[in-house]
Amino acid sequence: MRSQTVPPVATTELYRELHDHVRDIILVIDADTGRIVEANRAAEQAYLYSRDELLALAIYDLRLETPPSVTDQMRSADRQGSLFETLHRRKDGSVFPVEVSSRGETLDDSRYLLSIIRDITERKRAEEERERLLITTQQALATREEFLWVASHELRTPLTIVSLQLHQLRRSIDRGDTTDRLTASTEAALSHIERLSALVQRLLDASLLEKGPRLDVAEIDLAEVAHNAVERVRAQTEAFGIEISVEVPVVRGLWDAVRLEQVLINLLSNALKYGLRQPISVSARVDADLVHIEVRDRGIGLAASETDRIFGKFERAVSTAHYGGLGLGLYISRQIVEAHRGWIEVESAPGRGSTFRVTLPLGSPAGRDQSAS
């Protein structure tokens, strides 16, 4: 069988077709001047220049950063080829990351750099997403570990106390102690069981409120809700001799009474914990179709940098070694307030106390299922 010789012109055309059908950018660069002497169709599409415009440029016109010079790149490419990442600029000024693979070639005593350039925008985006997911996962694991430590500490304490008190109650019964002593022991145990129940409820709330709470909305009186919330924490205030003043006028609005009382209890509990046993005030005022509720303490306060973070799940502005808690009260409060189409914020400074402000519309939360949760 006779071999066929492909004419040089046909060979050139074949290489041109292959050259233009490659999806990566191909540039041939004069190693001495850095001028672009050849470019394929992918280069036109990537850089938004026509082929003639590209051939009038030097490689330096396309680079945003300063990778190895063409001369240095040529030396490396002559020996082993070169591969590096950099940023290139399009005609419209936009920038994209590229991976450059180069090889030195000599033709007719002239030196050229053959560069195959790949747009790695998607790869970089995927790498950034993986990095973001890794960081998020690490943060979630750290949060989980911290939560488990805090939860185990917070739950173990009342469990231990209840266990001790029940053992003491059994011994009292065996000894035939008086009814008064038995009643006191029983009430003490019940008190710690209530605390344990409250802690478990906070965990359940954090889970149930993840997608936003469902509200049971009705026309209610804010003053009544506020006084009920203060009554709920009366045992704590009396135990530490803390005074709570309430200046809430009769304001009727469409809210979930149970949820709103929960918000106020959380804010009062926060004030009791960090208020240095100083007086606490609860007040409210109406402004047009909004009501502003404030809970103010005169305690340790917090830095401005913490005022947003403390509303996150399991977040606290102070060390768990000195102040207990699961870091859920303010998170739950924010979820409930936002479900009412309102917002919650705090003004504070270290050593000057904190003022938590809840702003609610007087009308019904729009677009919210108002059935009981």
What string of H, E and C letters represents the secondary structure of 261-299? HHHHHHHHHHHHHHCCCCCEEEEEEEECCEEEEEEECCC
Total structural domains in the chain?
Answer: 3
Does residue 192 sit in the same domain as residue 235?
no
Give the separation between CA 87 and CA 248, rounded to whole angstroms.
62
Neighbours of 304 (CB within 10 A): 11
Which of these three, 167, 182, 209, is where a domain ends?
A: 209
Instruction: Report if residue 311 sits inside a domain.
Output: yes
Does residue 80 sit in the same domain as residue 205?
no
| Tokens at 187, concatenated | 């009430």
Does the pTM of the predicted model rise above 0.95?
no
- Residue 154, pLDDT score: 55
Neighbours of 267 (CB within 10 A): 27
- Evaluate whether 28 touches 22 at the Cβ level (below 8 Å): no
- Evaluate whether 225 touches 260 at the Cβ level (below 8 Å): yes
Instruction: Report if residue 183 sits inside a domain.
Output: yes
Instruction: Report if residue 64 sits inside a domain.
Output: yes
Q: What is the CATH number of the domain that holds 64?
A: 3.30.450.20
In Å, what is the CA distance from 17 to each residue of 11, 13, 40, 48, 190? 10, 6, 10, 20, 86
Instruction: Report if residue 114 sits inside a domain.
Output: yes
Mean pLDDT by 10 residues, the chain (373 residues): 46 65 88 88 93 92 73 62 84 92 81 88 91 83 64 61 74 79 75 67 58 80 93 81 93 90 89 89 93 93 78 59 58 88 91 92 60 38
Does residue 103 sit in the same domain as residue 158?
no
Instruction: Report if residue 3 sits inside a domain.
Output: no
Does residue 96 sit in the same domain as residue 144?
no
Neighbours of 121 (CB within 10 A): 12
Expressed as residue numbers, the domain containing 109 is 8-119
Give the separation between CA 252 and CA 272, rounded to whole angstroms.
27
DSSP string, 296-326: E--S----GGGTTGGGSTT--SS-TTTS---
Q: Which residue is listed with tokens 């003639």?
A: 52
Neighbours of 291 (CB within 10 A): 22
Does residue 169 sit in the same domain as residue 190?
yes
Instruction: Report if residue 149 sits inside a domain.
Output: yes
- Evaluate whether 348 touches 302 at the Cβ level (below 8 Å): yes
Does residue 16 sit in the same domain as residue 112?
yes
Radius of gyration (C-alpha) of the chain in whole angstroms: 36
Does residue 146 sit in the same domain as residue 268?
no
Residue type, 186: T
Does residue 162 sit in the same domain as residue 135?
yes
Q: Give how far the C-alpha of residue 127 lies from the chain's centroid of Cα atoms, to the nearest Å.
A: 19
